[in-house]
Chains A and B, each alone.
Chain A
Amino acid sequence: MKQSHARLRVGAALAAAAALLLSSCALNEGESDPAGTAAEGDLTLRIGTTTDVANFNPLQSLSKTDSWILNAMYPHLLRLDENAEKVPELASGYETENDGSTVVFTLRDDFVWSDGEPVTADDVAFSAQAIMDNQLGNVAAKLTWVENIEVRDDVTVAFDLSQPYAPFAEGVGFWMSIVPEHVFSEAGDLTAFANDSDWVGAGAYILESMERGQRYTMRANENYPYAPEGGAAVQTVEYVVYPDINTMLLALKNGDIDLMGNPVPSSALGGLESDPNISVQSVDSLGFAHLTYNVTDETLARVEVRQALSMVVDTESIIATVLQGNGQPMVGPISPVFGEFDNPDLEPYPFDPAAARELLEDNGFTDGDGDGFLDGAQFEMICDQSNANLTRVAEVVRDDAAEAGIKLDLACIERNTFLARTKDGDYQIDLSQWGVFDNPMDQLRSTYLSSNPGGINYNLVQDPELDALVNEAATTLDQEQFVERIQGIDAYVHEQALLTPLYVEQFSFAYRSDRFTGFQPSPSDLLGMVTGYSLSQVTAAE
């Protein structure tokens, strides 16, 4: 007996030792001495994120969470301010020549790469050319019109376009990351360049080290021109990975992190309000939730049917219940976030199932079999099951539609399947949410042109009149006229009821207000609280 106990103990000890050995190689090895890293008074801000950085190459298509880190590291010509307006970042400004066919950016001369090289017009030209040559990511679509790029001097770069395109400068300025030519030109094939070590950036914070699955540590760039006098108060930004949002919430409450990068779900907001150490900042979405109708469907091709559907959607109560008030209604396809472009004269379709039923009956729909539903008014509505708000909206709309004699079959499916089906036009009604539109012109062009240049004309609409309206607006340089034309399209699409907008969500970002203050949030969960600019303005709370 004693013998067997002893054996057991030896076994356990051996096993424990083996386990230790296995992991000891990773035990904080290669880290500098913690005492040596931070000078007196330097602040470290820890941000929760749900997923690891998948791709460190800012020229490629990135996920939202990748963008948080990379956008802070690589400068953009323009940035989006708190009012969703494009303001100078690396560019000090831009102007057009040749009736809008040439767009000229003038750069600031005080941006410096973290290895000491200055940021010049050559870097801008290189980044754009590389994206065009390799058709990298969504920015390639923004550069569609570029025929030639001319570097006029160190701070001047001109893009010659095949035709004027009103929002060209804004689209490219906002979306395109500028990378250091002297690093990326040495990297070989840029479609396969991982860029996962020895980062050289010029944004507010530069990635310094990472432990995959755990944390990403960024250091403030002392040359970042927009940092306050004397440098950013937050010298270190650490992204910590919590795949589960509830775990991240607990970590914030416990003070393990200072800010949640991901928005707090509406259902969890109540629990944070009572915590005196935590504040919540609201930020508008740059996208919106909507029902979009596939007009290649025989029944949905009829405008009265789409209008009737718009009348069974109770946006007011959806915002109040599903979003718990954290959203605003919209009419037509242009979000109120874009201020002047949103046509103020549009009247929403009233929520009135009885009137909707009447409208359908006036147009020949009858309930022949007496089941309470109008014959032929039956549609499949697909949605992304990972969006908890939309799956609830789907049920609300289905129940209200039933009152009007419209039968909606819900198919809330796995996200990737959902994306593939919308891409293939394999649906009747698409209940979904646009992520980020940075300007109305790009949105209208991508969603309504018959040629479907962006692949997101989910209505599959082919309307020569609408095409003409969009193309006319796209080449309009006079601002007043441009606004008028966008408003005109807003009205046209609304009348056609190509979509039923649901809401513009407000994202809620929670942070430790007992420790930090001074975030400068921008709209959307792509930017939110964590842009390089915002983080560089943060100071310690009193």
Chain B
Amino acid sequence: MFRGEQAEMSGSEILSTLLGSEVRGDLLVLFHRNPGLIDTVDGVARRIGRTTVAVISEVRELLELGVLRQKRIGAFEVVSLDRAKDRELLESVANHLKTVRISGEK
């Protein structure tokens, strides 16, 4: 259902995708607080207090970005954090933010 593909993106684009919706923000927090979490999309939705319908497209965005990866365990498709890719993406975001001037910054 999902594919973990990602064209070369700038730090700014990665940031926009990561914080593209409240649900995506909740997913990031969930997986960063529980980096070993492996669960179905239904289970992930329950964990953040949302419906599967509300979460499925957001999970897909994170799979396409590469933050999450998907695999089959028995009869279940499960998702988990791709720690190496996540680190790489957040590093790009950090490098981008270094160049952005914050309002009021001297």
Determine if chain A interacts with chain B.
no
